[in-house]
A and B are shown apart, each in its own frame.
Chain A
Amino acid sequence: DTAVSQTPKYLVTQMGNDKSIKCEQNLGHDTMYWYKQDSKKFLKIMFSYNNKELIINETVPNRFSPKSPDKAHLNLHINSLELGDSAVYFCASSHDSHTGELFFGEGSRLTVL
């Protein structure tokens, strides 16, 4: 039973399209995150939600919009995709917003052509 699951695992799309990545956790955690990993493996936090409330919003273009319908789900919608958006996007969750013990999904590899 996967703890943090993301879909889709792979996504190939054209520039200018809009796409979404979904994430669900069944760990009963209060906090969820989106991280972006570039081709050099560098990880950068994008957003964090605690009990459906946005608590971390890093310098991310407005084209990226997270949505948390409930505390078990955090989806990422991306408008007007650009080549530079190509990356692996990781969803993660944690018991609360103060711990560094995160549980990561397997990642969603986005390729923009």
Chain B
Amino acid sequence: GNSVTQMEGPVTLSEEAFLTINCTYTATGYPSLFWYVQYPGEGLQLLLKATKADDKGSNKGFEATYRKETTSFHLEKGSVQVSDSAVYFCALVYNQGGKLIFGQGTELSVKP
């Protein structure tokens, strides 16, 4: 079946460090891929998305590129801030299917 796997957390970084959170997926066909972010005590918010191979999604300094050959959608940011501390979820959906499937989430903690 379709699934999403993320790197285990928690990830702890110092401010201004480079961030990578790995995400790989298993799916038949060509899903759309997403990153959602959940700040403490809040609901999830869409961070970025990519709908086809080689697309790059970007928002708030975060980027992720849809890599079909490696079935990956890794999240990166060049310089993290304390305010980026949150749980990050990778997810996929088929345009025909409608069911958003989430990875297990990766907690990021950024220290000053």
A residues apposed to B, CB below 8 Å: 4, 31, 40-43, 45, 48, 55-56, 90, 92, 97-107
Contact = CB atoms under 8 A, between A and B. Distances in A.
Interface stretch (B17-25, B39-47, B62-70, B74-82): B39-47
Contacts of B91: 100
Contacts of A41: 38, 87, 104-105, 107
Contact of A48 (B87, B89, B98): B98
Contacts of B32: 100
Contacts of B98: 31, 48, 55-56, 97-99
Interface of B: 32, 34, 38, 41-46, 49, 87, 89, 91-93, 95-100, 102, 104-105, 107
B99 A48 contact: yes
A58 B99 CA distance: 10
B43 A99 contact: no
B42 A106 contact: yes
25 contacts: A41-B104, A42-B102, A45-B100, A48-B99, A90-B43, A90-B44, A92-B44, A98-B95, A98-B96, A99-B98, A100-B32, A100-B34, A100-B49, A100-B91, A100-B92, A100-B93, A101-B34, A101-B46, A102-B44, A102-B46, A102-B100, A104-B43, A104-B45, A106-B41, A107-B42
B43 A105 contact: yes
Closest 6 CB pairs of A and B: A104-B43, A100-B93, A97-B98, A41-B105, A43-B102, A104-B44
Contacts of B87: 41
A106 B46 contact: no
A108 B105 CA distance: 19
A107 B89 CA distance: 16
Contacts of B42: 106-107
Contact of A4 (B38, B43, B46, B97): B43
Nearest to B45: A104
A100 B99 CA distance: 8
